[in-house]
Amino acid sequence: GENVEQHPSTLSVQEGDSAVIKCTYSDSASNYFPWYKQELGKRPQLIIDIRSNVGEKKDQRIAVTLNKTAKHFSLHITETQPEDSAVYFCAASNGNTPLVFGKGTRLSVIA
Amino acid sequence: DGGITQSPKYLFRKEGQNVTLSCEQNLNHDAMYWYRQDPGQGLRLIYYSQIVNDFQKGDIAEGYSVSREKKESFPLTVTSAQKNPTAFYLCASSKNMGATNEKLFFGSGTQLSVL
């Protein structure tokens, strides 16, 4: 089955700097890669996703890149703000089985 | 994201007791899921259901049971066979599983603790 590895487990950045979180997956048939953000005490929410037919997708300050050959994808947050502090989860799916999640990255943005 | 409701918010289980967590959605979603969240462990899949009256085991189904008698409801029972039940439980739904409708909508979670 699919296995998703996520790094780092914790990340601290200064406000205004960029943050990068990386994930690798094992199933070459996976074709959908979402990112979820979970603020303290709240439910996870989808912030961006990418499908295997594109290499990059942007939405304002966040972007996701996908390298199918290497089987890894990354989340990039630019101009970080205190409200970006949260736990971020990557996930992967081949469309036939449920999403498999990484173990999460706790991002702290220091003002 | 409204539309998916979990109850109770906090639940305590005594030794040898079965407890049931409720999950209801009014999004008309076909697929529903139960995840367990432990610190540093991410979201691990317990059970999922793609359609009424059908469900499948996830990665950590031992000690848990589910039912899907109605499209809107997917209750999770934590049985006495689950020896380490303390965790945060998240229910989720999606329009369906696969194709282009995998976006998950999560409930607000239930924190289960053992007395």
Strands A10-14 and A105-110: parallel
In terms of Cα–Cα distance, which of B107, B85, B88 is closest to B18?
B85
Flag if B42 and A103 touch (Cβ within 8 Å).
yes
Higher pLDDT among residues A54 and B50, named by residue: B50
In DSSP notation, B63-109 reads TEEE--SBTTB--EEE-TT-S---EEEEEEEES-SSTT----EE---
Q: How far is A36 from chain B (nearest CA, A)?
A: 9
- Which chain B residue shows the shortest CA-CA distance from A98? B97
Contacts of B43 in chain A (CB under 8 A): 44, 89, 101, 104
Amino acid letter at A81? Answer: Q
B74 half-sphere exposure, CB direction, 13 A CA radius: 33
Confidence at residue A54, expressed as pLDDT on a 0 to 100 scale:
84
Contact B64, B47 (CB under 8 A): yes
Interchain CB contact of A96 with B (< 8 Å): yes
Cα gap B57→A23, rounded to integer Å: 25
* pLDDT at residue B1 greater than cutoff 80: no
Flag if B45 and A103 touch (Cβ within 8 Å).
no
Write out the two tokens for A88: 């971020």
Confidence at residue A95, expressed as pLDDT on a 0 to 100 scale:
86
Interchain CB contact of A100 with B (< 8 Å): yes
- CA angle, residues A92, A101, B97, in degrees to nearest 5: 55
Contact A31, A94 (CB under 8 A): yes
Contact A6, A103 (CB under 8 A): yes
In tens, the pLDDT along B9-44 reads: 999 988 889 999 999 999 999 999 999 999 888 999
In tens, the pLDDT along B74-115 reads: 999 999 999 899 999 999 999 987 756 689 999 999 999 988
Interchain CB contact of B99 with A (< 8 Å): yes
Write out the two tokens for A108: 């702290």
Q: What is the pLDDT along chain A (111 residues), one digit of tens a residue?
A: 899 999 999 999 999 999 999 999 999 999 999 999 999 989 999 999 999 888 999 999 999 999 999 999 999 999 999 999 999 999 999 988 899 999 999 999 999
* pLDDT at residue B62 greater than cutoff 70: yes
Confidence at residue A24, expressed as pLDDT on a 0 to 100 scale:
98
Who's near A10: CB < 8 A, 6+ residues apart?
A: A105, A106, A107, A108
